[in-house]
Structure formats: C-alpha cells, structure tokens
Amino acid sequence: MADKVLMKGNEAIAEAAIIAGCKHYFGYPITPQTEIAAYMAKRMPKIGGVFLQAESEIAAINMVYGVAATGHRVMTSSSSPGISLKGEGLSYLAGADLPSLIVNVQRGGPGLGGIQPSQSDYFQATKGGAHGDFHMIVLAPASVQEMADLTVKGFELADKYRMTSMILADGTMGQMMEPVALDYEIAPAPEKPWATVGTKMAREHNIVNSLFLAPEELERVNFERYERYAAIKENETMYEEYMMEDADICVAAFGIAARVAKNAINEARKQGIKVGLIRPITLWPFPEAPFKKAADKVKAVVSVELSMGQMIEDIRLATECKVPVSLCNRAGGMIPSPEQVLEAIKAANNGGAK
C-alpha cells in the first residue's frame, strides 16, 4: 500500500535481491544476519523461488556455485565466522568466473567472537577472502536504503564482470530499521553464453571449472582476469564526499562508522574546524583518487573504523603517506561515539595525529 516501507537492513537486502531477479537463496543461520534467511524463507515460496537452509555454510556456498553455473542470479548471506567457512567456495567461484552475490553482516571477531557489530572483515573482503589471486567487488552500505540499492547494484556488477559481489555490512546496518523505497528499473541480465543450461545438441559443451591442467593456461586466465579487474577499478569505483571542498582534516569511514563520523563532523564544523568526510562505497575497488587529491589539500586524515585499523592501510597507500593518518576505533562489537570521533578530529587538527 505504501511508496515507502519500514525495513530492517537485512530485510531490505532480501527484498531487493528478489526484485533484482534472484530466485535462489542458500544459507545457514547466524546472528546478526538471520533475518535475511528468515525473510527469504517466507518470500521465496510465494514467488516460485528456492529457499534452502543448507546443512552448513560450506554446503550453501557450493549450492551458490551450482546455480551460478546455470547463469541464474543467486545469493547467500552470513556473518563473519560463516564467511570464513565459505572461503573455499569464494575462491572456486572466482576461479570459475561465476557471478554471485555474497552478504557479510559482520560481527566482532576473531574466532566465534560475538554478535555485536564490527568492520573487522575488511581485510578478508577486500584482499581476496581466500586462496589464489582474486578479488570480489565489495560494497559498503551506510543506510537501509543503500542495503537495498547496493544489493541490486551488486547483482548487476556480478553479471557484468562475471565475478562475486560482496555486500560488506555490519550488525547495526543489518538490524536497524529505516524507511526505504524499492522502486527499481531492473535491466535484463546480460546474455550468458557460458552457462551450463544444456547444449540441445546444438553447440559444444560449456565447462565450468577452476582446475587447469596446464600452468601456462592457468597463468593466462589469471592475467585476463586482472585485466577485467583493471577495468572495474577504472569504471566502478564509488564514494561519497561530504564537506571536503574546504577541509583541513579528512575523516575516512564507511558503513555505520561514516554515520557516526558525520555527526562528529557536523559538531566539529560548529566549533570552527574545517573537516570533511570521504566515505568509500566500494571498498574494492578502493576509491584511491579522492584520497590522493585530499592528500595535497588536508593536513591529516582520520580513519574511523570498527576494527583494529584495516582500511587505514589502503588510505596510507592512496595518500602515499603524504599526510599523517590516525586511527579512531572501537573493536570487538563496540561502536565509536560521535564524541570520540570529535576528539580524534580535534587531535588531528592540533597536529597531534600520529
């Protein structure tokens, strides 16, 4: 009945996936992402789709591999420890050049950790996530609306580049409720001549595989894959800049940390400190250009993270260490307060950044 609906971030991902044409969901429950599976369990039977609770995360990711090989839009979701279990499958998906959408609603770690929000899987998500040379497109939503928008975007990019898109959210993003509008123009998925959908005795067999008997051949597909990655870096990087025009201090944050940071920035501006925000929306490819530009203008960068400092390494690379980059963080399921971020901004402004 409504233009806007009130949704949890997890539900927004699930509904947006269905709108994007995903009719196959495989998963295994884990807090704080279980609402995705619960929502799919209710909705998929009503639209003629498949919801299947697998016997484990490993089974689920391999079911994703199977459906992806047929060219249909498919997804799984989990939270940090579950994503680690899916690691082998992520690498196989990359090796077979299969499109899929993976959602990680992060919680505190390492190990079993806790169920409260975290961003400490940044390294895992952006640097590959498992063995072998590969990347995933990593999308970092900062609102329930973006949870939905980036899910649609994630499916499109996955199909376009034949690779995995990962939504890297956190427990807060998954659990919080906000109004969302879900009116999307869904473009038809591209032709998938590689899909294993039956030859009808009219063509050669398509083979979906990540094993290569000749090392020369394996090297060639790795080089070709990285040419595609270069095109993605060129064309698909997304970020938001907030009050960066005249900024002396640059805050860098994604997801929930960016929302906290914006509150702190607004307060710092009231106190006369010229501070802005660069919010990466794609974490891979990392938005190097705005940081490189900022490095010539600002006197310091503050990275706000729900981790022991992971994105900060990419910021240092992008700014080529021209300016000091400090860390303002909480870990283990805790969230920095706007006051803590404000103090870090003040310290950076006073030259106290390390």
Partner 1 sequence: MEYKRLTLLCGHYGSGKTNVAVNMAYDLKKRFDRVTVADLDIVNPYFRTKDSAEDFKAQGIELICSEYAGTNVDIPAMPQQMYSLTDDRSVRGILDIGGDDRGALALGRLAPAVIEENDYEMLLVINCFRPLTPDASSTVEIMREIELAGKIPFTGIVNNSNLGEETTAEDVLNSLGYAREVSEITRLPIKCTAVREEIYNELEGKIPNLFPLKLQGKIK
Interacting residues with partner 1 (CB under 8 A): 1-2, 4-8, 11, 15, 31-32, 35, 38-39, 42-43, 108, 113-116, 171-172, 175-179, 256, 259-260, 262-263, 333, 335
Cα–Cα distance measured from residue 233 to residue 318, given in angstroms and rounded to the nearest whole number? 13
Q: Which is nearer to partner 1, 236 or 267 (CB)?
A: 267
CB-nearer residue toward partner 1: 49 or 66: 49
Q: Closest approach of Cβ 146 to partner 1, in Å?
A: 15
Quote the least distance from Cβ 352 to partner 1, whole Å. Answer: 26
**Residue closer to partner 1, measured from CB, 19 or 218:** 19
Give the residue with the Cβ less far from partner 1, 31 or 340.
Answer: 31
Q: How far is the CB of 125 from partner 1 (least distance, A)?
A: 22
Least Å from the CB of residue 35 to partner 1:
8
Residue nearer to partner 1 on the CB measure, 78 or 126: 78
Please identify, using beta-carbon distances, which residue of 69 and 335 lies nearer to partner 1: 335
Shortest distance in whole angstroms from residue 30 CB to partner 1: 9
Contact 304, 252 (CB under 8 A): yes
C-alpha distances (whole Å) from 163 to each of 10, 158, 321 are 22, 5, 32
Minimum CB separation of residue 45 from partner 1 in Å reads 13
Q: Smallest distance, Å, CB 183 to partner 1?
A: 13
* In the complex, least distance from residue 43 CB atom to partner 1, rounded to whole angstroms: 8
Question: Residue 179 or 190: which CB sits closer to partner 1?
Answer: 179
**In this complex, which beta carbon is closest to partner 1, that of residue 9 or of residue 95?**
9
Q: Secondary structure of the chain in the HEC alphabet?
A: CCCEEEEEHHHHHHHHHHHCCCCEEEECCCCCCHHHHHHHHHHHHHHCCEEEECCCHHHHHHHHHHHHHCCCCEEEEECHHHHHHCHHHHHHHHHCCCCEEEEEEEECCCCCCCCCECCCCHHHHHCCCCCCCCCCEEECCCCHHHHHHHHHHHHHHHHHHCCEEEEEEEHHHHHCEEEEECCCCCCCCCCCCCCCCCCCCCCCCCCCCCCCCCHHHHHHHHHHHHHHHHHHHHHCCCEEEECCCCCCEEEECCHHHHHHHHHHHHHHHHCCCCEEEEEECEEECCCHHHHHHHHCCCCEEEEEECCCCCHHHHHHHHCCCCCCEEEEECCCCCCCCHHHHHHHHHHHHCCCCC
